[in-house]
Amino acid sequence: MTKIIPKISNLSFDLRYISDMAMKTPDCLRSDLGELNYPVPEVIRQKLKELADQQIFSYAPTFGDPDLLRAIRQFEEEKIKHFGSPAILVTSGGQAALFAALNSLLMPGDAILTDAIYYPPYANLARIAEAELINTSLETLDNARLSENIKVLLLNAPNNPTGKVYDQTTLVQLARLAREKDWIIIEDAVYSEIYFGEKPVSITAYCPERTLVINSASKNFCMPGMRIGWITGDESLISAIAKLHRNMNSCPNTLFQKVLAGFMPESTEYFSGLRIEMQKRRDAVMQLMDELHWYYQKPAGGIYLMCRVPGLTDTLGYAEKLIKDHGISLMPGLFFGKSEDQLRICFGALTMEEIAQFGKRLKYSLV
Ligand SMILES: Cc1ncc(COP(=O)(O)O)c(C=O)c1O
């Protein structure tokens, strides 16, 4: 047995611990991972068959398939208007974009500022980049107490797990601080098309010159297994990120890049349907919470709802028990930062029928 201690030893599997347990549990109603249970359009499936028959199995260009890059420019049209002429890099999902961006931009000892409640891999990504993760309320930032080491502001809206979006006052204030303190802003917008009401404003409207926007096919297009994402922004920053990304993945999946390029320009109607369905599911889960008298904040977008169970402290133990004894899964709040007493339900992962069934099992677990 080797005595070598792996460099990566202080990371956790966070969400995957619960989802792996749920996956192995027969008949478990799963609202753990952020996977949308929503049909992939027929045209995508057709296109995939067509392209497979054409034997498209080669490497893709370093920055991405030219057709997909054109489609992304159109998809991100509003942000591109603010940017002027940004560069785009197609990545192997939003996760690879986050990894490549943070690791190519940060020096050991730098800090990342993010919201009090955040997507759990941010903590692991910070550790890998040897950076500190500072998680605090972005709406009530105390300017004087901000660390000089902060180099990146990591904004995620609609937020995973809270479903929160930021109002204009907060965005303007954050943009002003970013300029004053010379931060790079990374806007993680992987839920950008899933909102319930006004379309959330991007910080690129106030501070485009120092913002990088990340998006992906995983949530907006309901295809997490496709592993296609992208990052947009200043050319010199994107070039550095591309050099790291090229060494992580020779290139993102070529066939799927072409499939997405074909569908993206005709996706407007699909998004309207997706939003209507997600809002129905959100409302059904909110109704369930009301019946249980569990406190929650109404999600403005995304596919999750965070709730607080009166008197509950061990959310991990509770989540494990719900899987083992009642065949329902959700995520314990302790993975998400300052939310140790909360639970995350992914309503996007459950159909309306499954939400009804989930509610029955949850109520039964409480008697
Ligand atoms: C906020 C956020 N960012 C990034 C990702 C990564 O998404 P993917 O790598 O599947 O594109 C996720 C996935 O859950 C997420 O919730």
Element spanning 342, H or E: strand 342-346
Give pLDDT tens digits for 76-92: 988 888 888 899 999 99
CB atoms inside a 10 Å sphere around CB 242: 21
Q: Is the CB of 31 under 6 A from ligand 1?
A: no
Give pLDDT tens digits for 228-243: 999 999 999 999 999 9
DSSP state of 40: P
More confident residue, 294 or 338: 294
Mutate to test the pocket of ligand 1, among 72, 218, 253 (most ligand atoms within 8 A of CB): 218
- C-alpha to C-alpha distance for 186 and 197, rounded to whole angstroms: 24
Q: Is the pLDDT of residue 9 over 80?
A: no
Residue range(s) of every CATH 3.90.1150.10 domain in the chain: 15-40+269-365
Q: Terminus-to-terminus CA distance in the chain, angstroms?
A: 51
Q: What six digits make up the tokens of 7?
A: 């460099």
Residue 144: its pLDDT value, please? 73
Nearest-CA neighbor of 162 among 298, 311, 329? 298
Q: Is the pLDDT of residue 155 over 90?
A: yes
Q: Distance between alpha carbon 209 and the CA centroid of its chain, in Å?
A: 23
Q: Is the pLDDT of residue 101 over 80?
A: yes
Residue range(s) of every CATH 3.40.640.10 domain in the chain: 56-265
Residue 256: its pLDDT value, please? 95
Q: Is the pLDDT of residue 327 over 90?
A: yes
Instruction: Tell me if the domain spanning 56-265 has CATH number 3.40.640.10.
Output: yes
CB atoms inside a 10 Å sphere around CB 101: 29
How large is the average pLDDT for residues 143-155?
91
Q: Is the CB of 202 under 6 A from ligand 1?
A: no
Residue 5: its pLDDT value, please? 85
Give pLDDT tens digits for 12-61: 887 899 999 999 999 999 999 999 999 998 999 999 999 989 988 999 99
Q: Is the CB of 161 under 6 A from ligand 1?
A: no
Model pTM score: 0.96
CATH code linked to domain 15-40+269-365: 3.90.1150.10
- C-alpha to C-alpha distance for 313 and 333, rounded to whole angstroms: 10
Give pLDDT tens digits for 243-260: 999 999 899 999 999 999
Burial (CB count within 10 angstroms: exposed 0-12, middle 13-18, buried 19+), residue 169: exposed
Q: Is the CB of 215 under 6 A from ligand 1?
A: no
